[in-house]
Chains A and B, each alone.
Chain A
Amino acid sequence: MRKGGEGRARLLLVILIVTSLFLITLDLRGVKVIEGFKQGTQTVLSPFQRAGAVVLNPVKDFFSDVTHLGRTRGQIKKLEAENADLKIKLLNRKNADGQLQQLESILDLAGTAGYKIVNARVISHGSSQSFSQTITIDAGSNAGIKKNMTVLSQFGLAGVVKDVYPNSALIQLASDPAFKVGARIAGSQQIGILSGRGNRSASLQLLDNSTTVKVGDVLLARGSVANRPFVPGVPLGYVSQVDNSAGAVAQTATIRYYTNFSTLGVVAIVVSGPTSDPGDALVPQKPRVAPVPTVTVTVTPSPTASN
């Protein structure tokens, strides 16, 4: 390479590095122009994401189904018996039914607690390239959604609104490593902080070291000032493991979220919180064992014919 060309290349590299550092500085200082760029991009992208969600709807769960092949084998065998037309109809119908079921459960949850909600469909799952857990929904500021609102799934907390665009919103899932929520244990009212781990489990750190927690304890959201970002009483998950490490300042536990983040199809955004704290009203009921009917056989002696 010529000497002049080499110098130009170096100058170009330096300019690009300085520009990048300049962008990072602007963003960390909260300059609105950068946010505007991101908002504009998301506004342009959301119709494409919506179209993509519709087009890929029948096949988008393919990979997660493959990873759970053992569990879905029976279902696959059943589907193989049907013809191609029925398969497509069934897939679409199942999807609609699933979303309806999710929606019904969300409405039940919100109705019990007195939350005012806006429902939305998930139109995109964020890539994990940035080690974050996000989804995009098809409702935004035009539907009354604002930043830092609670997002519910049919089972409980799904996440929080991170960014809002006119017709879409970015949701930070509760599984995101940066996610934190104040939690209390139903019944004992012990409080702690729940942090996401990047998967369906989370870690709970209790604030009071004199209290104890046990496996199976149910966790609810403690709620925030003015109900944002979290409304009180939302079911979070249950204690799956208690970490009893000697010398720990506060007791910690592993929590299993009620929400399955990989199957989110419909979510609800709480636009207005309850007038009073619902307390433990939303604690999920434990599945009841159906009583087995006892069969009683009554034998009546029949009169025998006398000879």
Chain B
Amino acid sequence: MITRQISIATPIFLLIFLIQEALISQFRLPGGGFSILLIFALTWSVLSQPEVAAVIGFAAGILMDLSQSASGPFGQWTLIMLLAGYAISYIGYGDDNIHANAIGIVFFVVAANFFVEIAYLVTGALLGVSTGSIGQIVLTLFGMSIWALLVSPIMLPMFTRLHSLIFDSRSAQ
């Protein structure tokens, strides 16, 4: 069962990473743009059990660390994403107000996207990564949240379908 799940989930993660790096990064989007891998991992984390969400966050974090645009030390995104995955799943798991409601999932993903970026900034500051002026940070955070709000509802049906296909669990309709 686990082998089947991993063998299907791995190429999906790699494909989304490839889409992010080869296609989405071609666009110089205003407001910092969005990370489809981040949105994907957060959506799956909302839908999964906490320990599965931690593994999903870990895998997504490794790929985000491998990204050319990752400025922090290798492992920073991995740590943040696994904790974020576990945390949002722990908060939302078993709550039908979230899982049975697409708006609830989108809200969770957008909020998580915002807090993950804040966590990246804070840990980056502790590890000595330069992140720019306050104004620029606020603008980027705001822009990324807007993008997440626009992209999440569009991608949600596909992400939930893939999730239920692999994990055979409930998904938002």
Within 8 A of B (CB), among A182-218: 196-199
A125 touches B25 (CB 8 A): yes
Interface with A: B15-23, B101-109, B156-164, which one? B15-23
> Chain A residues with Cβ under 8 A from B132's Cβ?
131, 177, 196-198
A272 interface residue (CB < 8 Å to B): no
A148 interface residue (CB < 8 Å to B): no
Bitwise, B58-76 to A at CB < 8 A (1) or not (0) is 1001001111111111111
Interface with A: B4-12, B29-37, B165-173, which one? B29-37
Give Cα A124 to B73, complex, Å.
21
Bitwise, B101-124 to A at CB < 8 A (1) or not (0) is 000000000000000010011001
> Chain B residues with Cβ under 8 A from A24's Cβ?
73-76, 79, 127
A245 interface residue (CB < 8 Å to B): no
> Chain B residues with Cβ under 8 A from A170's Cβ?
68
Partner of B28 from the list A16, A21, A262 (CB cut-off 8 Å) is: A262
A13 touches B21 (CB 8 A): no
> Chain B residues with Cβ under 8 A from A67's Cβ?
30
B117 touches A129 (CB 8 A): yes
A130 interface residue (CB < 8 Å to B): yes
Q: How many residues of A contact B (CB 8 A)?
A: 55
> Chain B residues with Cβ under 8 A from A45's Cβ?
18, 21-22, 68
B130 touches A178 (CB 8 A): yes
Give Cα A204 to B23, complex, Å.
35
A125 touches B26 (CB 8 A): yes
A130 touches B58 (CB 8 A): no
> Chain B residues with Cβ under 8 A from A259's Cβ?
none
A34 touches B131 (CB 8 A): no
Interface with B: A52-60, A83-91, A280-288, A296-304, which one? A52-60
A12-B137 in contact given A24-B75, A28-B73, A130-B69 (Cβ < 8 Å): no
A123: nearest residue on chain B (CB-CB)? Answer: B26
Partner of B68 from the list A25, A163, A177 (CB cut-off 8 Å) is: A163
Helix, strand, loop or mixed for chain A's interface?
helix
A127: nearest residue on chain B (CB-CB)? Answer: B69
A197 touches B136 (CB 8 A): yes
Give Cα A51 to B73, complex, Å.
29
B23 touches A52 (CB 8 A): yes
> Chain A residues with Cβ under 8 A from B33's Cβ?
127-129
A131 touches B140 (CB 8 A): yes
A171: nearest residue on chain B (CB-CB)? Answer: B68
> Chain A residues with Cβ under 8 A from B42's Cβ?
none
A9 touches B51 (CB 8 A): yes
B41 interface residue (CB < 8 Å to A): no
B68 touches A126 (CB 8 A): yes
> Chain B residues with Cβ under 8 A from A176's Cβ?
71, 130
> Chain A residues with Cβ under 8 A from B140's Cβ?
128, 131, 198
A125 touches B27 (CB 8 A): yes
A44: nearest residue on chain B (CB-CB)? Answer: B18
Within 8 A of B (CB), among A103-117: none
A224 interface residue (CB < 8 Å to B): no
> Chain A residues with Cβ under 8 A from B65's Cβ?
23
A60-B27 in contact given A24-B79, A130-B71 (Cβ < 8 Å): yes
22 contacts between A and B (CB under 8 A): A13-B51, A13-B86, A16-B82, A17-B79, A19-B58, A28-B127, A38-B66, A45-B21, A45-B68, A48-B18, A49-B26, A126-B25, A127-B24, A127-B33, A129-B64, A129-B144, A130-B67, A130-B124, A131-B71, A131-B132, A197-B132, A198-B137
Q: Chain A: residues with CB nearer than 8 A to chain B?
A: 8-9, 12-13, 16-17, 19-28, 34, 37-38, 41-42, 45, 48-49, 51-53, 56, 60-64, 67, 124-132, 134, 136, 163, 170, 176-178, 196-199, 262
Known: A64-B30, A163-B68. 12 other contacts (CB 8 A): A20-B78, A20-B79, A23-B75, A24-B74, A26-B74, A41-B66, A63-B30, A124-B22, A127-B32, A130-B69, A132-B69, A198-B140
Q: Which 4 A-B pairs have the closest CB atoms?
A: A23-B75, A126-B69, A177-B132, A198-B132
